[in-house]
């Protein structure tokens, strides 16, 4: 699975034969015997199938060694042993034994299918197609490989369990691997594999992957922290025993049968808390906690009441994950209590069944067979999450976007909000009403305009808090805003907004491209409607496009020059002498949308002399003729520039920056803002800078105006204010 970790030598083994299987006798290997003994949950005939799979894998990998010098078979045997601890079905165990044979030997999928069945072959094939993920370089390749991995997991949940067991064993056996590779693989595990384990509820695996990675990335820090934890354990032994005795005594008084034990935070979780909250180890007070396991849900609440009577609870620290489970199926009551000497400690109360799910997550589907609903419900939630990844993949434009969206969804903390119908929706901390709208339905997200949070109007991008009741208000003519991308927190919202904006840009670019081509054809004395069909056939054949609309889109997005396409339609070569044509400018209204963008450097507005520049993938970018930012570019690549002019009455407001120098007197800002408002102009942004303390202040305004004329009118009215010393338009030009 992970060649950089295993470091196996290339195989020269011959195809597996019946004779070879007979010769391979593993019975003397103690590790193999322990593994076979762990399969007591399987029927004898299925154990025999596993024995055959071991012999098959051992022969296929014969001659290969890991970097440690051990025979390669020790790795698949360890992975299969971990899978057996989850009591997975025989197909999963066999696939774990064979997970590297297709990738590292000459064994093919058909041979595995013939000997062990198609389901096993599909599992091994899904695992074998996962290329290694290179971090810190080749970002697009890394993202594409990650996409492949999650798609394989979405097809069969057993893939993710085998993959995590594979990674876990590799991290445990990395002593012979180069230090830089160890750190790279450990970082990859912290970024992707550990969060996936957490998202699937595999908490034991989650914590172990984090701790192993932490020790590989920061070995010295891990050793120092481990020593501090060991010392603290000894120092607090008497206090912890006293708390444990008190809990057991109070539960007995309340006639609550329970199993109580202490628990310790993992090294990595302590390290992250110290790092995030800038604490020393001695300041981390909740290193230790206690867990109470009871027989059923009513008893859990009874135990909570009894223990709240023993130790005072910390306000705001109670969480009921039984009534509202986490998205990964986790259920428990969490409370923080003040123990003896004012020491706070965390208490978790749950049933034995919930404990199984809490530790093994999706693997409890196989472990906890006594419950028909527990494992099935969790598997259904996991399958739903994987299908949401497929949805993200289809909406993402490329692999990098997909990787970004998935990482966002692997959030460690959630809030829970309610819809008007009482449905509970989990969102990442910091999520907005826009995130909720897209979580409910794509159309609601695309058309949302406002939100009612706890029956009060709130901005769409206001941060939601735990327990909020949120109602989304929609409008048929509303659409997503580009600014939302910098605020939303869920991968789904981000991908849907991007998908919509790209679709809109595509449509607008098609219309712009048609307009630009029509202008070029008219300048050459030809109307687009007069062109014969054969002319378009030639252009489509040469360009590789299937539809005329695709040619228009390419022109609008800047991938093709309208002049070149026009000459090709008229069967004229680019090198042919230029035809005398009437000067013509592309007319724009300013309302074309994303296909026409206005340069932020000079912020052109109607009335300014303008020029357009074609950029691949962006379309037409409009500058003022005298914009300082384009002087050099216009002389270097003159063919990229198009004469553009404004159509009268564009019907849109444009942002303009103003610099206003004023006497530093009381109320100056208020009088200027009042005058701007009185003129019917909207202020988008304002700030000030002090260049001459005590004398003058420069105010930076961004206002919205309809045209150059309205801007001039506004500036004249501002000059009449006594405090105004000078006013200029912020584009390097004097107004």
Euclidean distance between CA atoms 1 and 15, whole angstroms: 20
Euclidean distance between CA atoms 640 and 620, whole angstroms: 10
Euclidean distance between CA atoms 209 and 189, whole angstroms: 7
Give DSSP secondary structure letters for 532-544: -HHHHHHHHHHH-
Contacts 24+ apart (CB under 8 A), 212-215: 212/168, 212/171, 212/172, 212/186, 213/171, 213/186, 213/187, 213/189, 213/268, 214/186, 214/190, 214/267, 214/268, 214/271, 215/267
What Cα–Cα distance (Å) separates residue 136 from each residue in 1, 181, 185, 211, 402? 20, 12, 11, 22, 17
Which residues belong to the active site? 103-104
Those residues with Cβ within 8 angstroms of residue 345's Cβ, 6 or more apart along the chain or in another chain: 243, 285, 286, 288, 289, 290, 336, 337, 339
What are the phi and psi torsion angles at 575 (to 5°)?
-85, -5
What Cα–Cα distance (Å) separates residue 217 from each residue in 3, 58, 437, 722, 724? 20, 33, 40, 64, 59
Those residues with Cβ within 8 angstroms of residue 289's Cβ, 6 or more apart along the chain or in another chain: 262, 263, 264, 265, 345, 346, 347, 348
Euclidean distance between CA atoms 11 and 106, whole angstroms: 8
Euclidean distance between CA atoms 561 and 507, whole angstroms: 18
Give the pair of three-digit tokens for residue 90: 């025989």
Give the pair of three-digit tokens for residue 597: 């963008």
Give the pair of three-digit tokens for residue 307: 């223990």
Euclidean distance between CA atoms 123 and 95, whole angstroms: 6
Give DSSP secondary structure letters for 231-289: HHHHHTHHHHHHHHHHHHHHHHHTT---EEEEEE--HHHHHHHHHHTT--GGG-TTSEE
Euclidean distance between CA atoms 483 and 434, whole angstroms: 12
| Cα torsion 472, 478, 484, 488: sign | positive
Residue of 440, 438, 423 whose CA lies nearest to 489: 438
Those residues with Cβ within 8 angstroms of residue 184's Cβ, 6 or more apart along the chain or in another chain: 135, 136
Euclidean distance between CA atoms 157 and 362, whole angstroms: 9
Euclidean distance between CA atoms 368 and 353, whole angstroms: 8
Question: What are the start-end ranges of the E strands in 439-487?
Answer: 448-453, 456-458, 470-474
CA 703 to chain centre: 35
User: Under a CB-based contact definition with an 8 Å cutoff, are residues 212 and 204 in contact?
Assistant: no
Euclidean distance between CA atoms 471 and 450, whole angstroms: 9
Count of H-run helices and E-run strands, the chain: 31, 20
Euclidean distance between CA atoms 222 and 213, whole angstroms: 10
User: Under a CB-based contact definition with an 8 Å cutoff, are residues 67 and 116 in contact?
Assistant: no
Give the pair of three-digit tokens for residue 47: 């154990």
């Amino acid at each position: 699975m992970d060649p950089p970790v295993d470091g196996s030598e290339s195989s020269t083994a011959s195809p597996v034969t019946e004779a070879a299987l007979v010769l391979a006798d593993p019975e003397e290997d103690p590790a193999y015997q322990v593994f076979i003994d762990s399969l007591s949950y399987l029927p004898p005939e299925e154990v025999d199938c596993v024995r055959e799979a071991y012999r098959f894998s051992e022969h296929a990998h014969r001659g290969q060694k890991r970097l440690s010098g051990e025979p390669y078979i020790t790795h698949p045997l360890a992975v299969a042993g971990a899978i057996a601890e989850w009591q997975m079905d025989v197909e999963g165990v066999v696939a774990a034994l064979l997970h590297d044979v297709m990738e590292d030997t000459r064994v093919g999928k058909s041979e595995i299918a013939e000997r062990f069945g198609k389901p096993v072959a599909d599992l091994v094939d899904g695992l074998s197609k996962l290329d290694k993920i290179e971090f810190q370089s080749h970002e697009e390749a890394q993202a594409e490989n990650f996409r492949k991995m999650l798609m394989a997991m979405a097809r069969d949940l057993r893939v993710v369990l085998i993959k995590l067991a594979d990674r876990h064993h590799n991290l445990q056996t990395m002593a012979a691997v180069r230090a830089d590779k160890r750190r790279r693989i450990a970082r990859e595990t912290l970024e992707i594999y550990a969060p996936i384990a957490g998202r699937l509820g595999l908490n034991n695996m989650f914590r172990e992957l984090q701790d192993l990675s932490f020790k590989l990335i920061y070995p010295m820090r891990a050793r120092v922290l481990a020593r501090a934890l060991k010392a603290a354990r000894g120092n607090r032994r008497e206090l912890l025993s006293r708390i444990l005795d008190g809990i057991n005594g109070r539960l007995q008084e309340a006639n609550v049968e329970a199993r109580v034990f202490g628990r310790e935070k993992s090294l990595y979780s302590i390290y992250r808390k110290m790092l995030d909250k800038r604490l020393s180890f001695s300041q981390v007070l909740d290193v230790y906690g206690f867990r109470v396991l009871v027989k059923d849900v009513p008893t859990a609440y009874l135990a909570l009441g009894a223990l709240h009577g023993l130790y005072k609870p910390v306000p705001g620290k109670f969480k009921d994950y039984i009534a509202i489970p986490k998205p990964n199926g986790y259920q428990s009551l969490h409370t923080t209590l003040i123990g003896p000497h004012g020491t706070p400690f965390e208490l978790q109360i749950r049933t034995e069944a919930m404990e199984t799910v809490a530790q093994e997550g999706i693997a409890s589907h196989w472990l906890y067979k006594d419950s028909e609903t527990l494992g099935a419900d969790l598997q259904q939630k996991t399958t739903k999450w994987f299908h949401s990844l497929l949805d993200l993949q289809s909406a993402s434009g490329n692999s990098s976007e997909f990787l970004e969206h998935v990482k966002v969804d692997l959030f460690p903390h959630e809030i829970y909000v309610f819809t008007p119908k009482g449905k509970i929706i989990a969102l990442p901390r910091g999520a907005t009403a826009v995130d909720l709208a897209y979580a409910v339905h794509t159309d609601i997200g695309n058309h949302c305009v406002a939100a009612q949070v706890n029956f009060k109007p709130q901005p769409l991008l206001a941060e939601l808090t735990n327990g909020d009741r949120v109602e989304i208000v929609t409008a048929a003519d509303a659409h997503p805003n580009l600014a939302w991308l910098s605020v939303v927190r869920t991968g789904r919202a981000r991908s849907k907004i991007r998908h919509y904006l790209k679709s809109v840009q595509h449509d607008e670019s098609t219309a712009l491209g048609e307009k630009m081509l029509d202008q070029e054809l008219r300048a050459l004395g030809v109307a687009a409607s007069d062109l014969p069909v054969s002319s378009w056939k030639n252009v489509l054949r040469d360009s590789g496009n299937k539809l005329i609309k695709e040619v228009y889109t390419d022109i609008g997005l800047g991938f093709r020059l309208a002049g070149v396409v026009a000459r090709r339609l008229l069967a004229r070569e680019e090198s042919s002498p230029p035809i005398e044509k009437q000067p013509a400018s592309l007319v724009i209204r300013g309302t074309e949308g994303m296909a026409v963008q206005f340069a932020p450097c000079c912020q052109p507005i109607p009335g300014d002399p303008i020029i357009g520049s074609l950029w691949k993938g962006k379309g037409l970018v409009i500058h003022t003729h005298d914009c300082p930012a384009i002087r050099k570019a216009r002389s270097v690549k003159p063919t990229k520039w198009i004469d553009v002019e404004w159509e009268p009455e564009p019907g849109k407001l444009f942002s303009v920056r103003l610099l206003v120098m004023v006497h530093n007197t009381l109320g100056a800002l208020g009088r200027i803002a009042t005058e701007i408002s009185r003129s019917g102009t909207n202020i988008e942004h304002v700030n000030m800078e002090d260049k001459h303390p005590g004398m003058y202040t420069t105010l930076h305004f961004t206002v919205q105006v309809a045209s150059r004329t309205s801007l001039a009118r506004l500036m004249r009215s501002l000059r009449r204010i006594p405090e105004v010393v000078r006013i200029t338009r912020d584009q390097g030009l004097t107004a």
